[in-house]
Structure 1
């Protein structure tokens, strides 16, 4: 009810201003001890995935807290896990503003942020300062000006720097807002990247005496052959999990709406069916070899259950929070629990 009153005011602001205002307000309310008053209680639903004990299977997707600067406030929302980033080795401003566009009639969002972040060192310092002790995923990417043929070096830097502080690390090769990034999903490039990451993960596990799972985040704009190919390479390189999916380049169903043809990745309700289809195809191709984290278009509790039924072990939300508010987390947990 509280969010229903606030949302029209937030929607009067530019998307990025509303985003920043929401996070700063959440930080303030958390500091005063009031934030939990505005967030629903979450029933426990323990779920073990990748050797990690999650208090519930509903997490926050990467992108909302790019620099890991709001962990303590976000923890009050009751997520079973929080993923921060995408973070790059060096700070970068991202693409020119405006770069976030709401499509309210479709409950969608188009963004072309471009991995704007303060760099991996700043994120690590934020994580170290936070009181949050829950499950933390850290999402890593490459800098926009790193040539695609040198992308692996950026991912290895990111993995090494975040490894001691992460519960799991996500390798983002599927954002449509960094030039040529999705090229890394192609067979040869992907195989080389995954092999290098696996070798580095093994070295870091020995160094720190602790195994941190690595997941790969993929796009929804993949055909069945590409999904099968990615699945085979994930298995061959013993990657721990896969996140399906990122935002879509498709504009089917929104092209007639204001901002519907803006450049960037489309998320929210319009990507729901594409994401679920990829999860279903991926689950068949993987045949249980590694778990799937389902994300894309979850705006109701039943949508989270849909992802689980398609083959996901965990789910993540982001755009749905913009339209539904904190109640969405509880609704998703409740829907999955009813299964």
Structure 2
């Protein structure tokens, strides 16, 4: 076990004494410093090798970083060096935006959970692309997902234009592009998961992708990220549209607005998206439902509430092909990455034998 990763329990106490958003920025700075130092970079090592094929891409291993940790794509190389098989950054919007008023992140340590209402705070597409182009992660064989969304000031009837701007901007620099229509922190965004809204959006993105594929002579996979707060009829609609419009993969799920398990805890009634341990079962159910409706080979990335290697295995058993973590890193540290890789690898070997 990496000695730097083992020390995370000590670092966590200091981080948890800070405001959550301040701690988030401090964590990114420390990860970056560790990467920038030749000595500590050697200690961290490389991603555990357990390669898989997904959407025509070769992932170093099936454990990725979920979007949200690095919204501006400023720390891609440093985060990738922690051991992830793939890294997703964003969500980025066409124009810069401040996001929602602070405070907007709340820890619920009794539940190993986080509530956030960040609201797609980011420096905008131009800065994002400059950061992405400076990174070396893809050149070294890493798989990079770029996650796009709409600006809060953009009326919902013009949302498709924001996604098209995002797709055009990130397309040449992405291994896959994630369409985020499931954050609960941009007003009415989840309406795009409805039948007509989703049909129009995916049709436009699919058509634009064909144009871009000809221009750049490569077909970049498009992935849809959905909410955990779906009922079966909504899952029916989304699954049908994914196939209809040639979407390449699904990320299940984003954060939840459900407070059933945390309502009595301090901060449990804060608005925003709940992530962490309480989301795990809800996410599993959504993955299971989509797997029943989609072709057995349709790529699903499971995310939500992975705080142990067993959680990662359960995502795979539910029907996911790979997983992503974020809140689990906050509570367990980067050692969680290799633990999940090894567990999934052992599970797959046991299943095949």
**TM-score when normalising by structure 1:** 0.98
Partner of 1:47: 52
- Equivalent positions of 1:103-142 (< 5 A) are 103-133=108-138, 134-142=142-150
Deviation at 1:298, TM superposition (A): 0.2
CA distance in 1, matches of 2:99, 2:308: 31
- 1:15 and 2:20 are equivalent in the alignment: yes
Secondary structure at the counterpart of residue 311 of structure 2: helix
Match of 1:237 in 2: 245
1:330 pairs with one of 323, 338, 342: 338
Aligned CA distance change for structure 1 residues 203 and 261 (closer, same or farther; 3 Å)? same
Measured after TM superposition, the shift of residue 288 of structure 1 is 2.2
Does the residue aligned with 2:192 lie in a helix, a strand or coil?
helix
Instruction: Structure 2: state its 5+ residue gaps.
Output: 1-5, 348-353
Deviation at 1:37, TM superposition (A): 5.7
| Equivalence for 1:89 | 94
CA contact (8 A) 2:185 2:273 kept: yes
- Equivalent position SS for 2:94: coil
Task: Indicate which of 4, 15, 21 corresponds to 2:9.
Answer: 4
- The residue number in structure 2 matching 1:246 is 254
Aligned to 1:226: 234
Q: Which residue of 1 aligns with 2:164?
A: 156
Give distance in 2, aligned partners of 1:23 and 1:38: 18
Provide the alpha-carbon RMSD of the alignment. Answer: 1.1
Q: How does 1:1-339 map to 2 (within 5 A)?
A: 1-36=6-41, 39=44, 42-133=47-138, 134-288=142-296, 290-339=298-347
Q: Kindly tell me: are residues 122 and 225 of structure 1, through their superposed partners in 2, closer, same or farther at Cα, counting changes over 3 Å?
A: same
- C-alpha separation in 2, matches of 1:40 and 1:175: 34
Paired positions, count: 339
| Alpha-carbon distance between aligned partners in 2 of 1:201 and 1:43, rounded to the nearest angstrom | 33
Unaligned runs of 5+ in 1: none
What TM-score comes out, normalization by structure 2 length?
A: 0.94
Aligned CA distance change for structure 1 residues 48 and 15 (closer, same or farther; 3 Å): same
Distance 1:205 1:35 in 2: 40
Work out the CA distance in 2 between the residues paired with 1:289 and 1:199: 23
Whole-angstrom distance in 1 between the partners of 2:31 and 2:297: 39
